[in-house]
Structure 1
Amino acid sequence: MSAEITINQFANLENGTRLHFASAGEKGRPLMLFVHGFPEFWYEWKVQLAEFGQDYFAVAPDLRGFNLSDMPTDVSAYKARHIVDDLRLLIAHLGYEKAVVVAHDWGGAICWNMAIALPALFEKLIIVNSPHPYLFMQALKHDPGQKSSSEYMNWLRNPGSEQALAKDEFTLMDGFFNGMGQEDAGWFDAETRAAYHACWARGLTGGVNYYRASPLHPPTEANSGPLQLKLDPADFQVKVTTRIIWGENDKALPKTLLDGIENFVDDVQIQRIPEGSHWVIHEQPDRVNRLIRQFMQQ
């Protein structure tokens, strides 16, 4: 039996940001927070909300810049620390001190940062296809294959990329779901496509600004990106119980990004899905749900 999903809820946060969120389950149960990536929105987690709303208060926000949440115009408003602050304040707004956090892609990048800076906010962290920031920085600096597979990030950082993404009824955007490890995204059916197009039609600049605001991108002649950063690995330690689900057929974020993760996370387990792509949440939602359940029962 699935829990009913409630949408069109808004949180006015203390920092002035207004976030839209969807939820399932009863408030007062343990909070499970689902954090989407690019180019998605709360809808990425609809199967998970219906499942975990049965015994959690399951909440999936639209991050700032996406769908029905506020879309600041300043690129600097999309630095990771501001998104972390949104999530911190959302947890408090919902009446909680901590949450189980499940995050994918850009949501994972934000939540790695949040786990490093604010571990007390977490019961557990579950990451799906999102690299630890220090390991990703090292790969961008030293791994030619990673530099090549991440070149799309530099394209997205360019002025006007959002106009190119919107051209011809979001043809390029639709292609993201067919070009990152799988040939035919069967899950991206007409209903799902319509939902995503409605989201994208509300604006793409906010989502693209995550890339523009981040120092992590492949180096170019004009911008050395992560090569400029002198970071101490000790500053990137995660003290939160962490479980990772990784679709190994991810063309942008290969499985080699997991190498060395045990040096940064005290308590980590990895579940690899060899045939899963970057979009494994959509491709195998029931399997992902089972794995999350197993992690929660440990």
Structure 2
Amino acid sequence: MQYCRHRFVELNGNPFHYVEWGAPGAPVLLFLHGFPEYGGAWSEVAERLADSYHCVAPDQRGFGQSWAPAHVEAYGLRDLVGDMAALIGILGGPVTVVGHDWGAAVAYGLAMFRPELVSKLIIINGVHPVPFQRELAAGGAQTIASQYILYLRAEGSEDKLSADDFSGLMKLFSARMDLSWLTPDRLKLYKAEWSRPGRLKAMINWYRASPLQVAKPGEPLTDLPSLPIGRLQVRCPHFLIWGDDDTALLPSCIEGLDEVASDLTVHHVSGADHWICHQKPDVVAGLIRSWMDPVQA
């Protein structure tokens, strides 16, 4: 087993924490987590790739042991991308970026707005803003599945989620998906991260700062401004791994992705949902390895 090493760095003048596996001289895989996770949550996948890659998984802004400013405005995509751009600079980029859930939003942001820093892009059950906003506004199945976003944006949602030993957050975390991988010991690690002062509010501020608009079920939003699709293109090689049983992000969210990603490969995984990285780490790591280096795989 490859054990992680903890590192603390300053990014744009602010303190951040990351964990790493593998040899620092190997090709870098930068793993970006989503909500409500943290850098160490990538351990199952990273350990399986550390023989060939330098796997780096930061606690993103507001999460874990990294900087967690209190105000909502600090969680705009420009700043989140800026954090990871600074980290890539320290790592000697460009690098391959791997994003899941909210980490996918930052990964896409890097690929779209700082393409010189991203050699390849791997997304695991995450969404590009163009098809996702389309589905959020449509008033259909994805709109219904995403109503939790409005709940999270409401004032005081962090207090409701943390009450009774995070029972509300656990209910949201499961969301009709398989959490059999979340053992008691692993849950202790998650709760330790959620319990850090101000962290849960900071984590939820990602939702509050997002410009994405969510319709009411059956009431499509028809007056949204057009997205600048020309500026939202992903031009590097892009691999999408998709757990087909996801109930938070539905398959409609990736329809038309090839219109904004010219070099796209998609692999569907049956019997896995949003938490595919924990449910099937062997499969995920194997897919990453074979796509990164098909000859060696």
TM-score normalised by structure 1 residue count:
0.93
Counterpart-to-counterpart distance in 2, 1:209 and 1:200: 14
1: CA distance between counterparts of 2:42 and 2:106? 17
Structural mapping, 1:1-298, within 5 Å:
2-7=1-6, 9-13=7-11, 15-94=12-91, 96-182=92-178, 185-202=179-196, 203-219=199-215, 227-298=223-294
Q: Which letter does structure 1 place at the counterpart of 2:42?
A: W
After superposing the two structures, state which structure 1 stretch, 21-30 or 31-40, moved more. Answer: 21-30
* SS in structure 2 at match of 1:204: helix
Task: Say which SS state the counterpart of residue 93 (structure 1) adopts.
Answer: helix
Checking the alignment, whether the CA contact within 8 Å between 2:36 and 2:173 is kept in structure 1 is no
What count of residue pairs does the alignment treat as equivalent?
290
**Contact 2:139–2:221, Cα closer than 8 Å, also in 1:** no
Deviation of 1:105 (Å): 0.2
Query: Deviations for 1:169-199, whole angstroms, at most 9, x for unmatched residues?
Result: 01122223422433xx110001110000000
SS at match of 1:39: coil
Structure with the bigger RCO (C-alpha within 8 Å, sep 6+) is 2
| Per-residue Cα deviation, 1:74-132 (whole angstroms, up to 9, x for no partner) | 111100110100000011123x1211111100000111111111111112111011111
8 Å contact kept, 1:219–1:226: no
Q: Deviations over 1:24-60 (max 9, x none)?
A: 1122221110000000001220012212221221100
Cα displacement (A) at 1:5 = 1.1
Check the 8 A contact 1:154/1:217 in 2, yes or no: no
1:227: Cα distance to partner?
4.8
Give the superposed CA RMSD: 1.8
- Unaligned 5+ runs, structure 1: none
Specify the code of the residue in structure 2 equivalent to 1:51: R
- Per the alignment, do residues 226 and 288 of structure 1 end up closer, same or farther by CA in structure 2, a change over 3 Å counting? farther
The SS at the match of 1:281 is helix
Indicate how the Cα distance of structure 1 residues 291 and 121 shifts in structure 2: closer, same or farther if over 3 A, else same.
same
Q: Separation in 2 of the partners of 1:246 and 1:227?
A: 31
Q: Return 5+ residue gaps in structure 2 as ranges.
A: none
SS at 2:81 equivalent: helix
* TM-score of the two chains, using structure 2 as the length reference: 0.93
Please tell me the residue identity of whatever aligns with 1:196: Y
Whether the 8 Å CA contact 1:104–1:127 is kept in 2: the answer is yes
